Structure 1
Amino acid sequence: MDTLVHRLLGISGSLRSQSTNTAVLKALASRLGDQAEMSLFTLNDIPLYNSDLEAEALPASVAALKEAITHADGLIICSPEYNYGTSGVLKNALDWASRPGFDSPLKNKPVLIMTSSPGVLGGVRAQSQLRETLSATLSRVISRPQIVIPHVTQKIEDGKFVDETTIGFMLAAVDDLIREINLGG
């Protein structure tokens, strides 16, 4: 049995202080046991992508994001769905992290994606868009049944995500992520 603790980085596509996506990631992080540990990276300080800024001096928040991605064995991204797509803040962060092209910290990085929505579809359209964006970054998006969380607001109690069925499904997905990490090691 593998006793290595895998370092995972969770990224929420929402900036809200009471974000349901962040609550989902926190619930998952608290249940990983001793197979992995997950830290969360907030996107609040990431400026809008501008290659002029990149040429002058990488903003400190962007450098921190890229360093966190570099040091993680794998990523877990949870995005809301806004207007049939992923959030602008998440897309922006991925644009920054994808630089330099073909040699970014996202290249060959195993990534598990999840989406949530207060609606009935759980963010499936955002998931599709996110999968396409990550494909362009040369990330290794985990191929498995999609994790979409419909009616997410109904699964939050006292700011915590409490849907045990979904948590179990997410934990199985983390097992798939860890297998992918070990394959690419």
Structure 2
Amino acid sequence: MTLSEEARDRLADVVELQPTKNAELQERWGLESGSEVHRYLENELGEYYFRDDNSLIRATAEAADLVDVEPGVVDDGGGGGPPSRIRVPELHAQVVEVLAGPDERSQSVVSVLHDLREAFDVDPDTEAVRSALQSLRRKDVVEVEYRTVPTFRLAVDRADIEVDVSD
């Protein structure tokens, strides 16, 4: 199957963001709905992606070989635990830097937002922070604790994970 330039670029996004969801691809691709993402995946990239047991979108090994992009989870540790290395956008990397560690009290999205503003002089909106936390959660780097609101903390010691910033 020969891919158009757009399809190749979008396949690279799937490889980079995996494991991912329709909503994350919708945002990246500027589409109107998750249904559009699903339709595009099925029609254009059907043989290069699959959904795992948790319905998360992952690229096939062939897809990763086809595009020159590092997968989002570079090294899964092999034991089913958290990865030892991930490749994420800059905001996600900043979240890893400021988020409470595994032995600390988990933080709300707003608390993480305040820490990001203080540490990096950035001003993302709360939805961008929430999205970053959920993406890191899907990569098994962040865990959630449900209190009055969902709160987050690292699932792995900062020293045990290498974070590469993607473009």
Same-fold call, TM > 0.5?
Answer: no
Question: TM-score band, normalised by the shorter chain?
Answer: under 0.3
Greater helix share, 1 or 2? 2
TM-score, length-scaled by structure 2: 0.27
TM-score normalised by the chain length of structure 1: 0.25
